[in-house]
Amino acid sequence: MLEIRDLSLTVSIEGRRVEAVSAVSLQLEAGRVLGLVGESGCGKSLTAQAILRLGEHQGVEKSSGDILLDGNSLFEMDDESLRRIRGGRISMVFQEPMTALNPVFSIGSQITEVIRLHLDMDKQQANARAVQLLHDVGMQDAEQVLKQYPDSLSGGMRQRVLISMAMAADPDYIIADEPTTALDVSVQKRIITLLLNLQKKRNLGLLLVTHDFGLVAEMCDDVAVMYAGQIVEAGKVADIFDHPAHPYTRALMGCRPEVSEPGASLTVISGQVPSPGHWPQGCHFAERCSLARHDCMEKPVTAACWQQGEHIARCLHVDEHDMDDRT
């Protein structure tokens, strides 16, 4: 089990340390897909990257909480253990495949490097595994692809390569941060299907970061909705789709033009996500919420302010909204 427990992160903005992720808790289990959804700027990538402690070079600091892999804190691990976990037990697929690939090395050398970093294989064995991995992500002419360089591949093909690299050492968890956002709509569906097939076949725990509620509906078992650094609603996808409790979740769902069209951009919820350092003292969503009352503006709202089984929402007035009346 991979568990984020009450994680708060600060970033440095104009020389000031400000909170950007606030007491986030998430649990990812083998065989399950967890969606982390919210508009741009809500802190999804900071949260996802914290799992492998990737933000530390960009001035991201943990101010409280912990991340546990099978009960062991990733923050207390030595560099060697962390190196083995990165890519070995937990790997990442990023939004923009080109930035994650090195343009001056062939695809083959980049995949075999990852393989040999984690598995005890000689060059020939690593090469054979690379071919197999590329087959697994749907590339027929794998031998040919190994000789090519990143810029000679399409965006979709590059993302397949990155997924094959993420699978190289048979990880238990994959963190996919907007894995299809940079791709053509026609390709998105295929990449998502590929990820989901791999997830099922290998019983992976998959954290899917996305701004697209339609993808959550198609792919995820569980969902956490993030707004301005906080989880505002979480639970099983089925429950949240039937009864979205938080006005932000409802707005995100309503925003989505066509559930059958993955990747279609959100029509706008009026207003903007407040940036770190500018969060309101009460509910973070209050200033954009059509249902907000006076107390929403003033009173800090706890994470599980409203709870029904495993379904939680950070809203003072859930019971007063008509939960079946989706707009």
Q: Summarize as ranges the residues that interact with Mg ion (CB under 5 A).
A: 45
Q: How far apart are CA 174 and CA 302, in angstroms?
A: 29
Among 1, 16, 30, 40, binds ligand ADP (CB under 6 A): 40
216-255 footprint of ligand ADP as x/- string (CB under 6 A): ----------------------------------------
Is residue 24 involved in binding ligand ADP (CB under 6 A)?
A: no
* Beta strand extents in 29-165 (DSSP E only): 33-37, 61-69, 72-73, 90-93
Q: What share of the chain is helix, strand, coil (3-state, %, to 5)?
A: 35, 25, 40
- Residue nearer to Mg ion on the CB measure, 129 or 211: 211
Is residue 20 involved in binding ligand ADP (CB under 6 A)?
A: yes
Q: How far apart are CA 197 and CA 123, in angstroms?
A: 28
- Residue nearer to Mg ion on the CB measure, 37 or 204: 37
Is residue 266 involved in binding ligand ADP (CB under 6 A)?
A: no
- Residue nearer to ligand ADP on the CB measure, 42 or 312: 42
- Residue nearer to Mg ion on the CB measure, 176 or 187: 176
- Going by C-alpha positions, the residue among 293, 317, 311 that lies closest to residue 231 is 311
Both tokens assigned to 44: 């999804």
Pairing of strands 61-69, 72-73: antiparallel
- Residue nearer to Mg ion on the CB measure, 39 or 172: 39
Q: Which does 281 bind (CB under 5 to 8 A by kind): ligand ADP, Mg ion, none?
A: none
Among 44, 250, 284, 288, binds ligand ADP (CB under 6 A): 44
CA angle 35, 38, 42 (to 5 degrees): 120
Which residue has the closest beta carbon to Mg ion? Answer: 45
Is residue 193 involved in binding ligand ADP (CB under 6 A)?
A: no
Is residue 282 involved in binding ligand ADP (CB under 6 A)?
A: no
Among 3, 5, 8, 13, binds ligand ADP (CB under 6 A): 13
Q: How far apart are CA 215 and CA 194, in angstroms?
A: 13
Among 46, 111, 142, 187, binds ligand ADP (CB under 6 A): 46
- Residue nearer to ligand ADP on the CB measure, 123 or 278: 278
Is residue 60 involved in binding ligand ADP (CB under 6 A)?
A: yes
CA 145 to chain centre: 28
Q: How far apart are CA 213 and CA 39, in angstroms?
A: 10
Q: How far apart are CA 175 and CA 213, in angstroms?
A: 17
Q: Which does 58 bind (CB under 5 to 8 A by kind): ligand ADP, Mg ion, none?
A: ligand ADP
- Going by C-alpha positions, the residue among 18, 48, 75, 27 that lies closest to residue 211 is 48
Both tokens assigned to 295: 């107390």
Q: How far apart are CA 206 and CA 151, in angstroms?
A: 28
Is residue 11 involved in binding ligand ADP (CB under 6 A)?
A: yes
Closest distance between Mg ion and the C-beta of residue 213, in Å?
A: 16
Interface residue list for ligand ADP (CB under 6 A): 11-13, 20, 38, 40-46, 58-60, 275-276
